[in-house]
């Protein structure tokens, strides 16, 4: 696996874009104009960026309620995403989807289901159509909570039996809202279950974008080659509320020590540490990227807020309801 400068910068930009967008959502959320539930990707960006940076634009993706990073890392249009959060007709789904259902056909981001496991069967079908045309593949993201659902196992069996080119990526943050994996799956080794279906499955540290990238690239190459499914179980930490604008907290799950540990291992931090230790010459370029991304995020939100205000002025929409408690 050659990790050249460009690739490292791409991985960094990809993660940072997702991070900055999510952080900005938090900043803006109290204005109560992003009127919908937000399931942030903060802490988990390494997975989306690692996996999707190793994909072609013609590869397809489907996702879950927590789809911000997937959409962005697949190359989804960022201003259109922000407009979508503001419910604008210029949003990627013309205001129909919102935060949980980002969709950008142009880059083969085929949508996100807010029903657990719901997009998994779609991945099977997308892969079937791709297989008939060439060697593109489909990546299906699913949370560990989604792997409680029977349809996940139906899909493992179906893709293995029909020979469908799907890479399932399990984002294992060990949480389903506040319920830990250990309370939901007596045998919490998801990769072991997958292997029972005769499918190659690999665990990876989801907080290490470089490791994710290289594992994913290898698996994707295999999927392309033999049109058989693979599963990547990426272990990570959710550094935000399940839903709502609360970040860098763990809620009921774990104390200060644990938070510190997790913050230390979060993917951007891990990446910067790696670069500092291994190729410090990149840091300048990274800073430039950072500025560019910040500017792009600024501009996207500024535009969206302007359009939102204009739209609001034209309607007699009632005041938004008071905030609900975030589910950390």
Partner 1 sequence: MQVSFGEAIRLATVQVMEADSGAFVYGEGINDPGGFFGTTVGLIDQFGEDRCFDVPNSEECLTGFAVGASLLGAHPLFVNLRADFLLLAMNQIVNHAAKWPTMSGGQCNVPIVIRAIVGREWGQAAQHSGAYHALFAHVPGIDVLVPSTVKNAAGLLISAFQSERPSIMFESKLLYTLNDDLSLPIQPLPIGKGEIVREGTDLTMIAVSEQVHFAGQVADDLAKKGIQAEVLDLQCVQPIDSELIIESVAKTRRVAVFDIGWTGFGLSSEVARIVCESGAGPLRSRMISSGQERQHTPASCFREYEHYPLLDKVVTQLVESMG
CB 176 within 8 A of CB 145: yes
The site map against ligand TPP for 77-116 (x = CB under 6 A) is -------------------------------------xxx
**What is the C-alpha separation between 110 and 126, in angstroms, rounded?**
9
Segment 188-207, which members bind a second copy (CB under 8 A)?
192-199
CB atoms within 10 A of CB 24: 18
* Stretch of 12-20, 66-74, 96-104, 199-207 lying at the interface with partner 1 (CB under 8 A): 96-104
Q: Select from 23, 94, 95, 184 the one that contacts a second copy (CB under 8 A).
A: 184
CA separation for the pair 127, 158 (Å, rounded): 11
By C-beta, is 251 or 294 nearer to partner 1? 251
Q: Residue 252 interacts with partner 1 (CB under 8 A)?
A: yes
Burial of 238 (0-12, 13-18, 19+ CB in 10 A): buried
Among 76, 117, 145, 244, binds Mg ion (CB under 5 A): 145
Partner whose footprint covers residue 94, from a second copy, partner 1, Mg ion, none (CB < 5 to 8 Å by kind): partner 1
If one asks whether residue 99 binds Mg ion (CB under 5 A), the answer comes out as no
* Residue in 19, 24, 66, 193 binding ligand TPP, rule: CB under 6 A: 66
Q: Binding-site residue total for Mg ion (CB under 5 A)? A: 5
Give which of partner 1, Mg ion, ligand TPP, none residue 223 binds (C-beta under 5 to 8 Å, depending on kind).
none
Three-state DSSP class for residue 197: coil
Task: Describe the crossing of helices 45-53 and 209-226 by its angle, rounded to 10 degrees.
Answer: 40
Instruction: Kindly provide the b/e burial profile for residues 277-287, where b requires at least 16 CB atoms within 10 angstroms of the residue's own CB.
Output: eeeeebeeebe
Cβ–Cβ under 8 Å, residues 175 and 205: no
Interface positions, 133-172, toward a second copy (CB under 8 A)? 148-154, 157, 160-161
Residue 170 engages partner 1 in binding (rule: CB under 8 A): no
- Residue keyed to tokens 């999927």: 223
Q: Which does 103 bind (CB under 5 to 8 A by kind): ligand TPP, partner 1, a second copy, none?
A: partner 1
Identify whether the C-beta of residue 22 lies closer than 8 Å to the C-beta of residue 247: yes
Q: Which of residues 292-311 bind partner 1 (CB under 8 A)?
A: 311
Q: In angstroms, what is the minimal distance from the CB of 123 to a second copy?
A: 15
Q: Looking at beta carbons only, is 7 or 122 nearer to a second copy?
A: 122
Q: Closest Cα to residue 72, out of 119, 124, 19, 30?
A: 19
Number of residues that bind partner 1 (CB under 8 A): 76
Write the CB contacts of 157 (distance below 8 Å, at least 6 apart in sequence): 197
Q: How far is the CB of 104 from ligand TPP (least distance, A)?
A: 20
Count CA within 13 A, CB hemisphere, residue 117.
Answer: 14
Q: Interacting stretch for partner 1, rule CB under 8 A, among 138-146, 228-236, 254-262, 277-285?
A: 138-146
Q: Which of 294, 307, 297, 310 is nearest to 91 (CA)?
A: 307
């Amino acid at each position: 696996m050659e990790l050249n400068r460009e690739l490292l910068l791409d991985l960094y930009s990809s993660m940072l874009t997702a991070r900055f967008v999510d952080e900005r959502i938090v900043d803006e959320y109290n204005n109560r104009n992003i009127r919908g539930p937000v399931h942030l990707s903060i802490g988990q960006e390494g997975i989306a960026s690692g996996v999707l940076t190793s994909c072609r634009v013609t590869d397809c993706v489907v996702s879950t309620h927590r789809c911000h990073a997937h959409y962005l890392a697949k190359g989804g249009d960022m201003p259109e995403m922000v407009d979508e959060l503001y419910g604008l007709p210029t949003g990627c789904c013309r205001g129909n989807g919102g935060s949980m259902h980002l969709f950008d056909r142009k880059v083969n981001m085929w949508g996100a289901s807010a029903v657990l496991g719901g997009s998994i069967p779609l991945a099977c079908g997308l892969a079937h159509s791709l297989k008939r045309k060439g060697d593109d593949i489909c990546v299906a993201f699913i949370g560990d909570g989604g792997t409680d659902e029977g349809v996940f196992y139906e899909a493992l069996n179906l893709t293995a039996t029909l020979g469908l080119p799907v890479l399932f990526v399990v984002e294992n943050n060990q949480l389903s809202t506040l319920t830990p994996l250990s309370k939901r799956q007596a045998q919490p080794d998801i990769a072991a279950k997958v292997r029972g279906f005769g499918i190659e499955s690999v665990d990876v540290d989801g907080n290490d974008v470089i490791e994710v990238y290289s594992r994913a690239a290898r698996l994707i190459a295999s999927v392309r080659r033999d049109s058989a499914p693979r599963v990547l179980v990426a272990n990570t930490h959710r550094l935000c509320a399940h839903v709502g604008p609360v970040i860098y907290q763990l809620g009921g799950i774990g104390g200060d020590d644990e938070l510190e540990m997790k913050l230390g291992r979060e993917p951007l931090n891990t990446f910067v540490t790696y670069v500092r230790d291994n190729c410090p010459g990149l840091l300048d370029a990274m800073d430039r990227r950072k500025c560019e991304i910040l500017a792009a995020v600024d501009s996207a939100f500024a535009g969206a807020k302007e359009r939102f205000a204009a739209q609001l002025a034209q309607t007699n929409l009632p005041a938004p309801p008071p905030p609900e408690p975030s589910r950390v």
